[in-house]
Amino acid sequence: KQEVTQIPAALSVPEGENLVLNCSFTDSAIYNLQWFRQDPGKGLTSLLLIQSSQREQTSGRLNASLDKSSGRSTLYIAASQPGDSATYLCAVRDNDMRFGAGTRLTVKP
Amino acid sequence: EAGVVQSPRYKIIEKKQPVAFWCNPISGHNTLYWYRQNLGQGPELLIRYENEEAVDDSQLPKDRFSAERLKGVDSTLKIQPAELGDSAVYLCASRAGAGGAGTQYFGPGTRLTVL
C-alpha cells in the first residue's frame, strides 16, 4: 500500500526566506504527483501537478520537483510571504490519490 | 466557472443521528470523489465515481455509510447512524475524464461534529 510522508510537519520562517517542503512516497508506480494548499477551514487548492514523465513544474514563486525512482518530491517556495501561511499537502496518484499529512507553514512578517 | 459546491458547510449532530452531505461537481466532470479528512491528517478516499458508477468504494464503511450519484452529476454521502469517531471534514472533489491524469478540484468541505 502506498505511503506518503511529509517532512517537516510544521515550519515557521521569517518573511522573505526561501524554503523547501519535502514529500516521500513508497511506491514509484504513480501517474502523477500533486501539491495542494489548504487554508484553515477551507478545501484544497491545487498548486502544481507533475506527471510521472516530468521532472519539475513551476508556477510563479513555486517550483516542484519529482524524482520518481527515489520516491521523492520537493516544493520550493521563493521569497516567502505571510500570505503563504497555510498547510501544504502532497498527493500521489496511482489507482487512487493518497495524501501526506501535510506541512503547516507559518511565515512571520 | 463555478467550482465544486458542497452543502452544508457545517453540521453538528448527536451520535446515532443520521446525516447527509451533498456535492455538485464542476460541470462536465465525469469523476467524483468523496474524502474524509481527520484533524491534522491528509484526506482519505471513501469512494470514487466514474459517471454514475462507484468504481472504488473499498474504503467506505458500508455498515453505516452510503453514497449515490444519480444521473452521474450530483452526489450524496450519508451516515446512519453517526458515531463520535465520524467527526471530520468531508471533502468532495471532481475531475474531468477518466484514467490517471488530470487535476482534482476540491470543494470547501463539510465539517461534521458528532456530540
Asked if B23 contacts B74 with a C-beta cutoff of 8 angstroms, the reply is yes
Nearest CA in chain A to B42: A101
Say whether B56 and A96 touch across the interface (CB within 8 A): yes
Residues in A lying within 8 Å of B, measured between beta carbons: 4, 31-32, 34, 36, 41-46, 49, 51, 89, 91, 93, 95-102
Helix (H, G, I), strand (E, B) or coil at A41: coil
Residues B40-91: tens digit of each pLDDT: 899 999 999 998 899 888 889 889 999 999 888 999 999 999 999 999 999 9
| Residue B103 contacts residue A34 (beta carbons within 8 Å) | yes
Q: Does B96 touch chain A (CB under 8 A)?
A: no
Tens-of-pLDDT digits for all 109 residues of chain A?
899 999 999 999 999 999 999 999 999 999 999 999 999 888 899 999 999 999 999 999 999 999 999 999 999 999 999 999 999 999 998 877 899 999 999 999 9
Measured CA to CA in angstroms, residue B76 lies from A18, A82, A105 at distances of 42, 37, 33
* Distance from the A55 Cα atom to the nearest Cα atom in chain B, whole angstroms: 16
Classify residue A41 by burial, with Cβ atoms within 10 Å: 0-12, 13-18, 19+.
exposed
Chain A contact for B58 (CB, 8 A cutoff): no
- Closest B-chain CA to A42: B108
The rounded distance, in Å, linking the Cα atoms of A31 and B79 is 32
Q: What are phi and psi of A97, to 5 degrees?
A: -105, 125
Asked if B17 reaches chain A (Cβ–Cβ under 8 Å), the answer is no
Grid coordinates of A87: 498547510
